[in-house]
Structure 1
């Protein structure tokens, strides 16, 4: 039997659940993204319309199905997200995000804003479900539904 298969790339990811426990998995990303030119990114998967997605436990080779709403943060290597340096007209701020459950994530957040709507609160209210934060040497994809507070860090 011939099956049509979409080529996928196995991509490492770390995920924090609501309790703060961190799990290592691999996700499967397409060679082509639906919403932009280039390959599918972890942010495309997390911000997509499907609520559940498969992951592979690299230690046991077992497949599990995760619910996006229960992911607090997903960390990926920067080359997997292909984030560009912020463009002219974008705000770039250092923030500390406190998540439900107590975990804190700190890093640089760059966001575009229409004229007159450059406030951080405006961005958070219109941004996709998972926002990208440069957290040290990695990208933290933070689930907005799991955020308790966001504070801008000075200096």
Structure 2
């Protein structure tokens, strides 16, 4: 069995900064040191690795450069924050995000920043590469490096 078969897979659409799209399945670790369940899409995208693996519809593996990704789109299947204690102190923010290529996304995200740093500006200046933005049953994982500007809607 290859290492790719031992992972948890999530269907996704990857939109690159230059506009092309790749569809397939992301490979998430089946366990993580952070919590007892499988790795989340956001955790995988924010790992320090420069590339992530994706199985394409024909079965081949693509190693995708995170720096070239603007947005990863998935169906909502995991909570914003896995740990209930962390979720209880998070602040929800509603944003309209404009990214390179002219795409715009609206939705909600959760900030786990300290109590005196709960503004949208504080959240956007966080050092992690990607953040999640959920609307309905769709979650956009947006690369902060691809954001042009944001309208806070709260």
> Fold-level match, TM-score > 0.5?
yes
Q: Secondary structure at the match of 2:61?
A: strand
Q: Secondary structure at the match of 2:22?
A: strand
Unaligned runs of 5+ in 2: none
Aligned to 1:94: 94
Task: Tell me the C-alpha RMSD between the 2 structures.
Answer: 2.4
Q: 2:79 aligns with which of 79, 82, 85?
A: 82
Q: 1:13-56: per-residue Cα shift (whole Å, max 9, x none)?
A: 11111133332111222210233321112112110011012211
Hey, which bits of structure 1, 4+ residues long, moved more than 4 A? 3-6, 84-89
Q: 2:70 aligns with which of 69, 72, 79?
A: 72
Number of residues of Structure 1 aligned to a counterpart in Structure 2: 150
- TM-score calculated relative to the size of structure 2: 0.84
Could you say if the C-alpha distance between residues 4 and 141 of structure 1 is closer, same or farther in structure 2, counting changes exceeding 3 Å? Answer: closer
Quick check: 1:149 aligned with 2:146?
A: no
- TM-score calculated relative to the size of structure 1: 0.84
In the alignment, the residues of structure 2 paired with residue 106 and residue 9 of structure 1 have an alpha-carbon distance, to the nearest angstrom, of 28
Q: Secondary structure at the match of 2:101?
A: coil
Unaligned runs of 5+ in 1: none
